[in-house]
Amino acid sequence: MMPRYAIFSDVHGNIDALDAVLEDIEKKDAVDKMICLGDLVGYGARPVECVRRIRQAKCEVVVGNHDYAAVGKMSLYFFNELASEAMLWTREQLGKEETAFLDALPLVYEDENMVAVHGTLVEPESFGYVLSDVDAVRLFATTEKDFCFTGHSHFPCVFIYDGGLHLTRDSRIVVPEGARVIVNVGSVGQPRDGDPRACYVIFDSDNRLVETVRVAYDVEAAAAKIREAGLPPALAERLLVGM
């Protein structure tokens, strides 16, 4: 029996969104494995709680660029002003345990059915994006797997390679035998595709089925926590519109 996966990314310290997603996954029975594609922290007001919740949930986790920055493995030079201000705040919140957990995360997860990474498999530690056809082709060239899962852009979409390359935003895709896909699973805690609902993906490897799921959650509560923490108000506003 090939497993069914729930795959999510870019939680960004948003505990309200994370809890809603974990609850939704729980309701769908027959999920055998959960995978988190990184950026547990950064931007949101509950980084410690998010790290703890994900540890409890016993999922496979790969590291994101914000996790890298949180433990000092990446300079804030690469961050814009908002992200950088939030990251300085986040570093102060994290305790020894959370920091050690983030510090030990691998860059890539791989099993017989798939490969998963925060940005791209091309130099995963530089956290490039997969936005264009060129990015997608370069990623396909680094792996033999039919199924590759990424996050990082906070924009759910699927690149399909079946001799030609197509980009789709269909929420339910059955990948034909012989075709390969790069699935961007969107973001739990800070969607940027104009839909404020949290996003994750169900992957049924037996049936080569990829399904993008949206989950409504209390966005106002998450925004209020950001304002109360004294983080930049723009980080609260963007949650309300999903940008």
Footprint of Zn ion on this chain (CB under 5 A)? 10, 39
| Euclidean distance between CA atoms 92 and 114, whole angstroms | 36
User: CB of residue 123 vs Zn ion: minimum separation in angstroms?
Assistant: 18
User: CB of residue 152 vs Zn ion: minimum separation in angstroms?
Assistant: 6
User: CB of residue 143 vs Zn ion: minimum separation in angstroms?
Assistant: 22
**Which CB, 24 or 39, lies closer to Zn ion?**
39
Edge-to-edge strands of the sheet including 147-150?
108-110, 115-117, 147-150, 180-184, 157-161, 165-168
Residue 153's H or E segment, with its range, is none
**Which CB, 68 or 159, lies closer to Zn ion?**
68
**Which CB, 64 or 161, lies closer to Zn ion?**
64
Q: Which of 33, 42, 2 is nearest to 188 (CA)?
A: 42
Are 12 and 187 in contact, with CB atoms under 8 Å apart? yes
**Which CB, 119 or 173, lies closer to Zn ion?**
119
User: CB of residue 163 vs Zn ion: minimum separation in angstroms?
Assistant: 32
**Which CB, 99 or 155, lies closer to Zn ion?**
155
3-state secondary structure 39-70: CCCCCCCCHHHHHHHHHHCCCEECCCHHHHHH
User: CB of residue 212 vs Zn ion: minimum separation in angstroms?
Assistant: 17
Q: Which two tokens stand for residue 91?
A: 């570093």
Query: Which residue has the closest beta carbon to Zn ion?
Result: 39
Degrees to nearest 5, angle at CA 132 with 127 and 135: 50
**Which CB, 28 or 73, lies closer to Zn ion?**
73
Are 100 and 108 in contact, with CB atoms under 8 Å apart? no
**Which CB, 10 or 24, lies closer to Zn ion?**
10
**Do strands 33-36 and 4-8 pair parallel, antiparallel, or not at all (unpaired)?**
parallel
User: CB of residue 127 vs Zn ion: minimum separation in angstroms?
Assistant: 9
Instruction: Count the helix, strand and coil residues of the chain and give each as a percent rounded to the nearest 5.
Output: 35, 20, 45
User: CB of residue 232 vs Zn ion: minimum separation in angstroms?
Assistant: 16
